[in-house]
Structure formats: structure tokens, C-alpha cells
Structure 1
Amino acid sequence: MDPYEVGASAMAAAASASASARASRDAALGPDLAARREAALATPPPDKPENLGEDSLEAAVAAAVYFLRLYQYAFVTGDTKDFEAMSEQRCVFCNNVVSNVKKIHDSGGWADPWEQTFEKVEAYPLNPGYEYHQVDVTISSGESLTYSGDPVTSSVNEAISQERLRIAIRYADGRWTVGEVEVLKS
């Protein structure tokens, strides 16, 4: 037998099993939750800012806001590719986000999209000897629902008003990456 046919046959069997498991899981959700899940998974990615390839304070602001939009997109859809591309390996916050997203989505879960308002975003020039810009973001987020497990259970994430985040972000090799995110105490 041709090795290509064996591989193609195995891939077709795996795809069929995956589709069957998904159909079974969706049937167990019921029509309302299945529709919410499908709507969440169909959420389009955030638009990339046009100045993302520039090394400027305006681009640092745009990159930080885009990163936070990718955070939401990852939780809603399970797609962490662009979030991970902006995350440095040493970023504890970033690694925790990816781990939590995978845990939720691997169990068949998702998050409903939530309102996000960027109320104030300030980028500071590089201090001599430092690689990272400091970008402080004041963000408000509406209440959100996260679904996970089998059977699916939901949890409510309370609305957050004016949370301050400090993002360490740097420009290197034509792109912005995040080294860490810190929640600032008010």
C-alpha cells in the first residue's frame, strides 16, 4: 500500500472521529449553548494596527491595545497563535493565559465575547539602558461568561471598572513583543 494513502486514510479517520465527538458534544449542549459556542468560535480576529511595524510611541500604544484584544480573542475562540507570536517566552502572564485558554478549549469550553473599553493608554519613552517601553493601560471590562468541562458548566467573571495594567513591550526585528503584564493596585 502506498504510504501516502495510509497517511491520508489515518488523517481522514481522525477527522471523522473528531467531527463525531464534536457533534456529540454539541448535541449535549442543547441548541442555545451550541449556538453561543458556534458564535464565539466564529469571532473574527482583531484588526492589526497599520503602524504595528513601526518603532514609535504611537505604535507601542497600538501594539499594547492589539495585544489585549488578542487576549480576549484567544479566550473566546481558543486561537492563541497571534497572542503567542507577540508573547516572549519569559512572560509569565502570557504563558498563564495560553495555558488557561488551552485548558478551557480542550475541555470543549469557550468564553462569550465581552465589552472592553480602553479608557487611557500611555506609553513612555525608553529609559536609557532598557529594552522595554512601559505602556500603562486603564481598561474596563464588562461581565463575561466562561464555559468549560463535560458536562459544560459556566462561570461568571465580574465586570471590572478601570483596572490598570502595565505592559512591558519592546520593538525588535520589525515587531513588538510583550515581556510581561502587571496588574497595578489602585
Structure 2
Amino acid sequence: MPPRTWDRRALASTAALSVAIALAGCDGGSSPDPTTPPAVTASPTPTSTPTPTVPSTPSRPDAMSSSTAEGAAATAEFFMTDLYPHIYRTGDLTEWDVLSSPDCTFCNNMRSKITEMLAAEERVEAGAMSASNTATTEQREGTWYLVSTRLSQEDSTRIDSSGTPVSTTPGGTVDALIALSWDGGWHVDEVELTPAGA
């Protein structure tokens, strides 16, 4: 496979998307009358602390099985609007690593952030993300693509190791340029994020 080099200067650097990028004793009184049995007080039923439900890994859209412009767009949107919030909510990098190219700076930066988050026993209730105005440019037929899209994210909340919310980051909107290649399956080669409309 040819080396993944791109002629777009916009991919020369990457910016991290703000995550918004985000929780009965006794009193020692007199003894009861020996002819009267002591009252029996029912002990309160212990309540169990609910175990947080871990979100399941998002399912890939069917279009990702195709090495077409439609497949590239579907992969780019899945990577950013489904997997990106998922890795913050769960710390699960399995699918992220499968789709990330080893040389993807953005992908590797995100992996480092998640690793640090896990080491601190924290997580982020990342706000839902959506994509709009998605367009795809074919750089090489069936092999290389550039996908541009506008990403919007709702507020996110950081949760510390005790489960307590410690901070909330407002959502926002960015423009994304995502480079992808097909080699029997999709790989994200790079991601650039800039303020919307910049």
C-alpha cells in the first residue's frame, strides 16, 4: 500500500476537540418489665448501590463495509460522533484502536488522554455529538478520501473516582477534516479540528 501522505496543509497539525471535551442504637434506659416482652424493631432492609451501566460499543453502520465515498463519510461520522464520546464515557479503546492508523496524531493524543483519565479513575459523561454538512473528496479511487463535516457536542461532565461530578464543560461546534484510507477496511489517518466557520 502507498504511504499515507496527504497534500492538504490543513492536515499538518491537529487540535484536540474540547470535551466538554465528560459523579439504630440503644439509649441504655431501664430494663423492660419482665412480664412484658421487649418490642421487636424491624431492622431496615439494606439498600444496594446501583451499579452504573456501562454503555455498549456503538455498532458500525452498514455503509462502512464499502470502500466508497459513502463508506468514507459513514466511517468519519462513526469515528467522531459515536466512538469519540464512547471512549470518554467508558475508557474502552478497543474499537478506537482498530480504526486508528498507527501514525494518526489526533488518534494517539486521544488515546493518551483516555489512559490518563483511567489512571486517575475518572470518566467523562461526554455530551452527545452530531455531524452536519458532511462532504467527501476522493483523493485516490477506492483508497484515499478526505471527509469534511461540522461536529456539534452537548455539555460534558467530568466524574471523579468517587462518582462525584467535579466539572462541566459547555458543548460547542467545530469543523473537522478527516483523512481516511481503505486497505481491506477503513483506517483514520488524521483528524484536524478548527473552530466552526474559522
TM above 0.5, yes or no, is yes
Runs of 4+ off more than 3 Å: 148-153
User: Which amino acid in 1 is paired with 2:153?
Assistant: S
CA contact (8 A) 1:104 1:149 kept: no
The offset of 1:152, in angstroms, is 6.1
| Equivalent in 147, 152, 156 of residue 168 of structure 2 | 156
CA contact (8 A) 2:147 2:177 kept: yes
The verdict on how the C-alpha distance between 1:152 and 1:102 changes in structure 2, with shifts beyond 3 A counting, is farther
Distance 1:151 1:111 in 2: 11
| Equivalent in 42, 46, 49 of residue 58 of structure 2 | 46
The offset of 1:131, in angstroms, is 5.3
Coordinate RMSD, CA, aligned: 2.4
Distance 1:159 1:57 in 2: 29
Cα deviation, 1:92-119, whole Å, max 9, x if unaligned, reads 1101101111111222111114121212
**Aligned residue-pair number:** 148
User: Which amino acid in 1 is paired with 2:102?
Assistant: Q
1:103 maps to which residue? 116
Query: Of the two, which has the highest radius of gyration?
Result: 2
Distance 1:74 1:121 in 2: 23
| Equivalent in 173, 190, 197 of residue 180 of structure 1 | 190
The offset of 1:184, in angstroms, is 2.8
Q: Flag the structure with higher helix content.
A: 1
- Structure 1: runs of 5+ lacking an equivalent: 1-28
Query: TM-score of the superposition, structure 1-length normalised?
Result: 0.71
2:9 maps to which residue? none
Alignment of 1:1-40 (within 5 A): 38-39=52-53
2:77 is aligned with 1:57: no
- Structure 2: runs of 5+ lacking an equivalent: 1-22, 24-48
What is the aligned-residue identity percentage? 21
